[in-house]
């Protein structure tokens, strides 16, 4: 790590220590070190290989649940055995130290919770549950995976015998109102936001750093690549998220 990068990490640590209501916002980049591809990196992103409108849209689920689950079943199985990486653990440690109030995440992989973060707002939902749109019953991921491993093409609600839908936000769906209300409240009250591993291009979540800034809060970016907020950030760390967060932790008193 260069001296300049070390100084920037120290600056982030200083901002955290001075803040009274800091919050972390995370995107797909925070889970890449756990072996989960992000969505749009050229040559690697998930949507480089498939058209999301043909496999991950709510209309596809309603029209052809078998086609939907052919894609999502594989994604469930891939995500289920993934473990938190040092970036997740560092963020959990910041919360445990009382330096952040919580985590707003766009990720559905449950890894923040697995790492020990307690106040986690999952604005795109979670793979933890699948729901019946008819009766509202929930089925846990392990039961869903058991059905898929047994050769069931589309997991169904045991009560309604209707196709289960992963409790995640699909294309064509609105984000959950309660989660977004909590996220907007945290962002508006925050005097510091750390945006980690996110390109900050997908709205309405991408508006959250702007809300913090409009209310007088500071902004730190820890992500590779450009974001719309690069010029507004007090500090931007552009290296590997694990290395950058470790450096911030090391700089804390």
Under CATH, to which class is 37-81+127-168 assigned?
alpha beta
Question: Bridge-partner residues for 193, per DSSP?
Answer: 23, 219
Question: Under a CB-based contact definition with an 8 Å cutoff, are residues 142 and 128 in contact?
Answer: no
Identify the pLDDT of residue 3: 47
Buried b (16+ CB within 10 A) or exposed e, 202-224: eeebbebbbbbbeeebbbbbbbb
Question: Bridge-partner residues for 168, per DSSP?
Answer: 125
Domain with CATH 3.40.50.1220 in the chain: 1-35+84-124+174-253
User: What is the pTM assigned to this prediction?
Assistant: 0.90
Domain boundaries 1-35+84-124+174-253, corresponding CATH code: 3.40.50.1220
Strands 125-132 and 164-168: antiparallel
- Options 70, 88, 112, 124, the catalytic residue: 124
For the chain, state the CA radius of gyration: 19
Question: Under a CB-based contact definition with an 8 Å cutoff, are residues 168 and 126 in contact?
Answer: yes
d(CA 134, CA 120): 27
In the block, residue with structure tokens 């985590």: 103
Domain with CATH 3.30.1600.10 in the chain: 37-81+127-168
Identify the pLDDT of residue 44: 47
Token code pair at residue 173: 């769906």
Per DSSP, 170 falls in state P
d(CA 127, CA 163): 16
What is the mean pLDDT of each successive set of 10 residues along the chain, which is 253 residues long? 70 96 96 79 52 76 90 80 94 97 95 96 94 92 90 90 92 91 96 95 92 96 94 94 95 87
Identify the pLDDT of residue 40: 52
Question: Bridge-partner residues for 105, per DSSP?
Answer: 26, 122
Token code pair at residue 24: 């972390």
Q: What is the pLDDT of residues 123-177, one digit of tens each?
A: 999 999 999 999 999 999 899 989 988 999 999 998 888 999 999 999 889 889 9
- 124 counts as catalytic: yes
Identify the pLDDT of residue 140: 92
């Amino acid at each position: 790590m260069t001296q300049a990068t070390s100084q920037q990490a120290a600056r982030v640590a200083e901002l955290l220590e001075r803040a009274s209501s800091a919050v972390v916002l995370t995107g797909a980049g925070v889970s890449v070190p756990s072996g989960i591809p992000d969505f749009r990196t050229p040559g690697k992103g998930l949507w480089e290989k498939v058209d999301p409108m043909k496999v991950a849209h709510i209309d596809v689920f309603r029209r052809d649940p078998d086609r939907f689950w052919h894609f999502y079943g594989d994604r469930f199985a891939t995500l289920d055995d993934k473990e938190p990486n040092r970036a997740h653990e560092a963020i959990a440690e910041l919360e445990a130290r009382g330096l952040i109030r919580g985590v707003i995440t766009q990720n559905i992989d449950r890894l923040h919770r697995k790492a020990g973060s307690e106040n986690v707002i999952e604005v795109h939902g979670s793979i933890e549950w699948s729901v019946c749109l008819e009766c509202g019953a929930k089925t846990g991921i392990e039961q869903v995976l058991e059905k898929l491993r047994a050769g069931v093409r589309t997991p169904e609600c045991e009560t309604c015998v209707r196709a289960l839908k992963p409790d995640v936000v699909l294309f064509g769906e609105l984000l959950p109102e309660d989660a977004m209300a909590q996220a907007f409240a945290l962002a508006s009250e925050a005097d510091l936001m750390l945006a980690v591993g996110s390109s900050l291009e997908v709205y309405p979540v991408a508006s959250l750093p702007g809300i913090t800034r409009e209310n007088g809060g500071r902004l730190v970016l820890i992500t590779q690549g450009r974001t719309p907020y690069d010029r507004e950030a007090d500090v931007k760390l552009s290296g590997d998220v694990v290395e950058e967060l470790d450096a911030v932790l090391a700089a804390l008193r």
